[in-house]
Structure 1
Amino acid sequence: MSRFHCKTHLIIAVFTLLVMGCANSVFADSTVERLKDEIKDTRQTVKAQKQELLKLTREERSMFGELAAIEDRILNVERELFRQEDDLAGIMEDEQAAKTDQRVLEGELDEIVDKLRSMLTKIWPIHSRKLENKFGSLEDWEEADRKFVWLASLYNDTKVELDKAREKAGQITANLEVQKDLRSKAESKLSEINVTKDNLLNDKLSLLSGIKGIRALKISREQELKGLLETINKLNYRLKSLTSKKIANFKGSLPRPCVGDIKFRFKPSAKPPVRGIGIKTAGNIDVKSIFWGKVVHNDTLRGFGRVVIIYHGYNYYSLYAYLAESFVKTGQEVEKDEIIGKTGYYPNLKETGLYFELRFHQKPVDPQKWLARN
């Protein structure tokens, strides 16, 4: 390992003077202005998205208010519907009772008619004889008087029975008309309430559909807003780097060069010394640049596979060893998080991994103090 670090030290020293003149190109003023414009435009878009979200939220709340009001009205209508159904059931019971009363009245009327028929049968012959003789035989005044009183009483009883018959017939007709009218009104009211309920249910379904649409639109806008805010964070991160030109400002927040478990930690005093970290990976995975910079070395080094070294300005370098392959060229400017290669076989781990160093003024520094914690 020490021989490896001597060679990398030499490589860094050779390329230091070559890249110093190019450092400013990494942080060009035009790029800074472009980033500022992008951030400004994105913030304006974020503002518009927030206003739209607020508008959608207000619409949603308003719809929920309308929905609550409709549900209250539906409950009231259902209560009224139940009352009307009870009323209709009562009317139908009354109608049934009226029909029963009608049968009783019709029976009573039949009895009255029979009685009248009997009375008339008795009265008519006498009445006919009187018309014929015109009370011509009044030999016995008392007998005639008795007949006259009897006939008057019989006529009077007949008249009473006829009046009863008329009254019963009127009661039957009036009773049926009342029941018919009540039932018609109850059915009409029930139908009207059902129509109202159907209309309210349709309004409720329409509101629910509208709320569903607004909610879906809100979710979409919230996701867009989240993406925009992430974009602003990334642009600010990049702008901060370009304007300050100092990787030191990002100490403790630099991304890891790859995903994996750290198996070898920084121990420069160990024998042999460990001047970086060894990361175990699950197969050949992407290796990314931890910061903006310029590739100053991209070649194989005996015993350490392919090695890429990136200069980040102000005498800071990052070194990536045991790469299976690299996707950059010497002199190429790279972005933060740009993929520069794939992890390869790491002899000390006896499986795939990455050896990573971070150096300042040619001296190794503990990478874990610079990298963000996962």
Structure 2
Amino acid sequence: MREFSFAVREGIRNFRRDKTLGFAVAGSVAIAVFALGAVALSAANVNFFLKEWEDKVELVAFLRRDVPAEVSQSIIERIRALPEVKEAGLVSEQELRRHLSEQAENSKNLERISLDELLPPTVVIRLARGSRDISQIQQLAEQVGRLEGVDEVKFEKTLLERYFQFRREMTIAAIGMNVFWLFIFSVVIINIARLASAARADEIRTLRMLGASGSLVRKIFSIESFVQGLTGAMFGIILLVLLLFLISNEMNRPLQVPVFLIIAAFSAGPFLAVLANWLISRKALSAFSIALLLLVVCQSPLRANELDSEVARYQKELERLSLELQQNQSVVTEITEQERTLIGGLEKIEKEIDLLEKEHSVAVGKKTANKAAIHVGQKQLSEYERKLVESRRELERWLRELCVQKMPSVAEVIFFDIPHSELIVRNKIIDLLAQKEAEAHERTEEIRRQYVQQEDDLRKRSELDTLYIETNKLRVQQLLEKKRHREDLLNQVRQQKTIYLAAINDLEASSRNLEQLIRSSKAARGPAAAPVPFQQMKGLLPWPVTGEVAAPFGRIQNPDSHTYTRHMGIDISSPLGAEISVIHDGAVVYSDWFRGYGKLIILDHGDGYSSVYAHCSEIFVKKGEFIGAGTVVGLVGETGSLKGPYLYFEIRENGQPVDPLVWLQRRT
């Protein structure tokens, strides 16, 4: 007991003395307690809100307007008798008006409406617990709807589907929160253990020197860890309460705060600190595991240091190769862009052709309609001609009547006692006949004008439709010709793209193989010794063959594609069979056919320098021979090339191509 009391006093004294460690551990514990409490309270409140919302799930049954009050009450009793129903009752007009007024913001127009006249009797049905499945609610709605006197039953199906989806998502979120809390839990334990292990190492040694037993030391540090965890738990709970206060004010409603969750979160603080203190005793095993892991990991770097120079050289060579291929890849990109442009143009032409075909169909339809109109016009013209003949006949009859009904003379009036009224009537008839004659003449002229106008309109319309159809045919032919031309261009571009891609692949493969060959050959034998170091011969080396430089070193333009590529050496034009001489003493490291270079000779001149002679027609040396400067090693040819006879010549320094013209003698 005395040992335990001493451990308690020393643990509390250590906490007060070592404030840096104490606050660090307390802060870590506070974070863990806060995270645990926040996750637990969030889950509890979400679960509470979901259950509260489920209790509010309702169905609404609308009864028929002609149902008496007694029948309505009977229907409600039958609904209440269903096992899935918790409560059912009629909604009064006052409740409806109050509910609608809240949504309509006390609209004065709503106050003037009689809801009893607007809505039928309404029954609200609240469900019992366990009846929240959509299929069960659907069955209940159908069952209530079959009751006599019920007109319609409705429920928020879409809202329920969204609710169940939300509940599933919240379940997944709860799993994620648990994983998050476990992560915080692990991180806090590890950090506390590391802090305590580092800070207490000296103190443990001091206590052991003073004669303290291992049990007493563990008790002292356990008490100190408990006090640190208790302090951190208090801070974590304070932060949690502050968070709950802010969220509650923002939501304008109280949150559920289960007491057991607060107690559990508060208890987690000392538990974490004590558990971390217990892990300190396992630090030897952890250190051994880490040391073993580091030992395994460090094996590779120790051996890799021997090849650092090789890796660096290979990296530089890869960078050189990427620079060489960059231009060819840009050509492929440009060709691909041309291909896209041509495809876009073809799509535009096809759309224009489709539009013209539609317009052609419309024009043909118009022409057919014009033919029908011409047929109708011809019928109308025939009718006009018939009416014209009838008008002429009527005019002739009227003229005859006019001649017969001539004015009587004065003698006839006097001697035959013709009444004045008869004269007046006769004069009226004569006036009418004259008017009829004028109207018939005007009608005849009007019919003639209509006939001429109709005939002219139909003729012009027919000519216009014919011209439009012919023009459309010509435009379609032009677009088809343009489409064929674009397709030919597209095929050419695609063929060119295929050729360039194949060339890029060949260049990549050849470059990789050549570089691998140089490296493997140098690795198989030591560097060749020369009387005069190669480096001292800069600008003094003889030319390997007589001829002019056809392609210089570096960036050159392709005359066919007008694109730029990187040239690793120089092309020296020379007649077929011209002798090829070695520029400096060296050992033959390769002497055979090589893809992309034809018959190839590579010499190692020592100190990292080598020379390359490609496209030879004949080779006179073998691999492994030491050749003196000026020795003829082969003849100029065109093997592996399509440009005719020439010598491709390279000088490389540590595997990297350099400009041969800088090393060769300057010509006058």
Taking structure 1 as the reference length, the TM-score comes to: 0.50
**Higher relative contact order, structure no. (Cα contacts within 8 Å, ≥ 6 residues apart):** 1
Taking structure 2 as the reference length, the TM-score comes to: 0.29
